[in-house]
Structure 1
Amino acid sequence: MSPLLSVSRLHTFYGSVEALKGVDLTVNAGEIVSLIGSNGAGKSTLLMTICGNPRARHGEVRLDGEDITRLPSYQIVRKGVAQSPEGRRIFPRMTVLENLQMGAVSTDPAHFDNDLERVFAMFPRLAERRNQRGGTLSGGEQQMLAIGRALMSRPRLLLLDEPSLGLAPLVVKQIFHVIQEINREQGMTIFLVEQNAYHALRLAHRAYVMASGRIVMSGTGRELLANPEIRKAYLEAS
């Protein structure tokens, strides 16, 4: 059986600067796969390349065996890939409800009410603030909204980019609990990019380590948590 997401020999450039240098990885259906690494390692670039912007110069991205490397981003979303980006990037002048409606534009409107209730059940704070502008929410609430907006597109593959960034520890625990719940209860396949290595590896079925645009290590989340090199580089300061 082929993986849901397969990245092969991927090279991405910003001008003349090579950001991804032959990346290979897979994400199987139903898995949580984490990608950890330091700032500037290329993690966010990988997620954006999977979504078609920037475009890979060499290599392939396949979704359920189909080559999506050259597809425009909107077609990749329609194929079932959704991203909650670094920095959340919600629409600050739109209400919570309007942000969630934007997430649902690529899906059948018949599913909207059920999907909305599912997101509100997952994030009750969003239900309480459904008519509040996104820009007036707290950082944690904006992150919930970014994840909820991605889920409204009914993805087969959910890409999460630094969901804990800048959040208080209590909110971080809540966000990671919801990620685990989405995977367990909905069978959602999740590819998680995260600097908080401890939480990312604890959550992951499998994980990869990226450095300078290359995958330098992989294994189960538990294996990498126990690895002395990983502990020294990423966990001792966590």
Structure 2
Amino acid sequence: MSEAGQPLLRVRNVETYYGKIIALRGVDVDVFRGEIVTLIGANGAGKSTLMMTICGSPQARTGEIVYDGHDITTAPTHEIIRLGIAQSPEGRRIFPRMTVLENLQMGASLVDEEHFDGDLARIFDLFPRLKERASQRGGTLSGGEQQMLAIARALMGRPKLLLLDEPSLGLAPLIVKQIFEVIGELNRRDGLTVFLVEQNAFHALKLAHRGYVMVNGKITMSGTGAELLKREEVRAAYLEGGRH
């Protein structure tokens, strides 16, 4: 994947705190247009905090976050979303009392209505299970279906950058495989740029063009997905027994 020009997302020397506790320590990350970039690390390493910091909640205390030429370091979340960033958060966080269709309508709320029917058809093509469940309440879906819905809801906003936080968490291996296949297809077919946080390092690094490793709020390694898969430190820490 070409790295010519400025990255779509540039994170520089970012530090984020929860009260007096530092969660991110001088983080530098680049995501270029058309890439899938993954961030791997143990539970509690700070991966989700970086995702939330990019989206403005919490805000970085120091450093700079630039997206598509806009400094979003201190921008409110709603402005960041309007610039073309969509997040599928950890834990899915769909609207459980709303139907599948209503969840998707919520995702499309910032986009011109003229695109809705076409975008909905595209989503149902990617996730046929959601078409079958269109009138069903989100809270009654299986875990895998809820994850599909969370990703689909984010895609309905027509993002330029999709942030995916632990999409495989708690899901059966077959569902994980399906979800990663969809992510790969969106990238290849539509050129969608994806920043992916994952504990399932094997799947994530196989899918990603580039990756970063985070330990205790710091980036400790970076490289192509293939390079990181070969690193002994990565294999020992994140891949032993992790091939699903």
**Do these two structures clear the TM 0.5 threshold for a shared fold by scoring above it?**
yes
Paired residues in the alignment total 238
Query: Could you tell me how far apart the structure 2 residues matched to 1:134 and 1:233 are?
Result: 36
1:226 counterpart = 2:202 = no
Query: Could you tell me how far apart the structure 1 residues matched to 2:204 and 2:225 are?
Result: 8
Give 3-state SS (helix, strand or coil) of 1:190's partner. Answer: strand
- In the TM superposition, residue 57 of structure 1 has moved relative to its aligned partner by 0.6
Per-residue CA deviations over 1:160-207 (Å, capped at 9, x if unaligned) read 000000000000000000000010001000000000000000000000
Query: Could you tell me how far apart the structure 2 residues matched to 1:28 and 1:42 are?
Result: 22
Unaligned 5+ runs, structure 1: none
Match of 1:156 in 2: 160
Query: Could you tell me how far apart the structure 2 residues matched to 1:194 and 1:29 are?
Result: 20
Per-residue CA deviations over 1:64-104 (Å, capped at 9, x if unaligned) read 12101111111111100000000000000000000000001
Give the alignment's TM-score, normalised by structure 1.
0.99
Where does 1:164-183 land on structure 2 (aligned, <5 Å)? 164-183=168-187
Match of 1:87 in 2: 91
- In the TM superposition, residue 237 of structure 1 has moved relative to its aligned partner by 2.6
Give 3-state SS (helix, strand or coil) of 1:111's partner. Answer: helix
Give the counterpart letter for 1:179 in structure 2: I
4+ runs of 1 displaced by more than 4 Å?
A: none
Query: Could you tell me how far apart the structure 1 residues matched to 2:117 and 2:65 are?
Result: 33
Match of 1:196 in 2: 200
Where does 1:63-102 land on structure 2 (aligned, <5 Å)? 63-102=67-106
Question: Structure 1 vs Structure 2: percent identity of aligned residues?
Answer: 69
Give 3-state SS (helix, strand or coil) of 1:97's partner. Answer: helix
1:22 counterpart = 2:34 = no
The correspondence for 2:151, drawn from 147, 153, 156, is 147
- In the TM superposition, residue 13 of structure 1 has moved relative to its aligned partner by 0.4
Give the counterpart letter for 1:206 in structure 2: R
Match of 1:59 in 2: 63
Give the counterpart letter for 2:43 in structure 1: N
- In the TM superposition, residue 118 of structure 1 has moved relative to its aligned partner by 0.6
Query: Could you tell me how far apart the structure 2 residues matched to 1:148 and 1:125 are?
Result: 11
Across the aligned residues of Structure 1 and Structure 2, the Cα RMSD in angstroms comes to 0.5
